[in-house]
Chain A
Amino acid sequence: KQEVTQIPAALSVPEGENLVLNCSFTDSAIYNLQWFRQDPGKGLTSLLLIQSSQREQTSGRLNASLDKSSGRSTLYIAASQPGDSATYLCAVWLGGSRLTFGEGTQLTVNP
């Protein structure tokens, strides 16, 4: 059974800091991995999707890496801003119909 773990569960940083969120998964036979952002009381916004054949994806200040063999992904946020405050979720897709989610990292960026 695929398990996805996110560390840390919560993170508070001052504005401007670069930070890394971690995601690990137990079954390396994934098709892709997605990072999502969720604001309080809202749905999920897809940030980055990494296919299993890819090593990283970048979008603006966000960079996500994938090391399938070790079962790890990181989300790097450069020059963090208060507007980045949200819960970040990673999810892996093994094929079929199921996305398996981690528990999320709650990020607070203080002005």
Chain B
Amino acid sequence: GAVVSQHPSRVICKSGTSVKIECRSLDFQATTMFWYRQFPKQSLMLMATSNEGSKATYEQGVEKDKFLINHASLTLSTLTVTSAHPEDSSFYICSARDFSVVNEQYFGPGTRLTVT
């Protein structure tokens, strides 16, 4: 099946700094990528949807100035957590949809962000 990678898998940063997470579709072109956040023992919460070359669409309650999303190519999307605070500590998962196949959505392995 299609593969989605994320980098880094874990990151620890100090409060007030910014962190960038990369999401890549390795063997298919993803016109649409998604960013999710997951708290312990909870399901995935969609943060934003990004289409290649256009601005991301953020879900209600998600601060677009804090969570900057860039989808510059058909295989790469980035999520930058700006001025991170401890409450931003979470598991971030990206996903990509290959509309050319059977509309299946593929998920990355996730990034564990810890803000100290």
Which A residues have a C-beta under 8 Å from some C-beta of B? 31-32, 34, 36, 41-46, 49, 51, 89, 91, 93, 97-99, 101-104
Contact = CB atoms under 8 A, between A and B. Distances in A.
A29 to B, nearest CB: 15
Interface in B10-60: 32, 34, 42-44, 46, 49, 57
Contact of A46 (B44, B49, B103, B106): B106
B102 A49 contact: yes
B103 A101 contact: no
B102 A93 contact: no
Nearest to A101: B43
B34 A101 contact: no
Contact of A42 (B42, B44, B46, B109): B109
The secondary structure that dominates the B interface is: strand
Q: How big is chain B's contact interface, by range?
A: 20 to 34
Given A45-B107, A97-B97, 10 more contacts: A31-B103, A32-B102, A41-B112, A43-B107, A46-B1, A46-B105, A89-B43, A97-B34, A98-B49, A101-B44
Interface string B90-116: 010101010000111111111010000
B43 A34 contact: no
B12 to A, nearest CB: 15
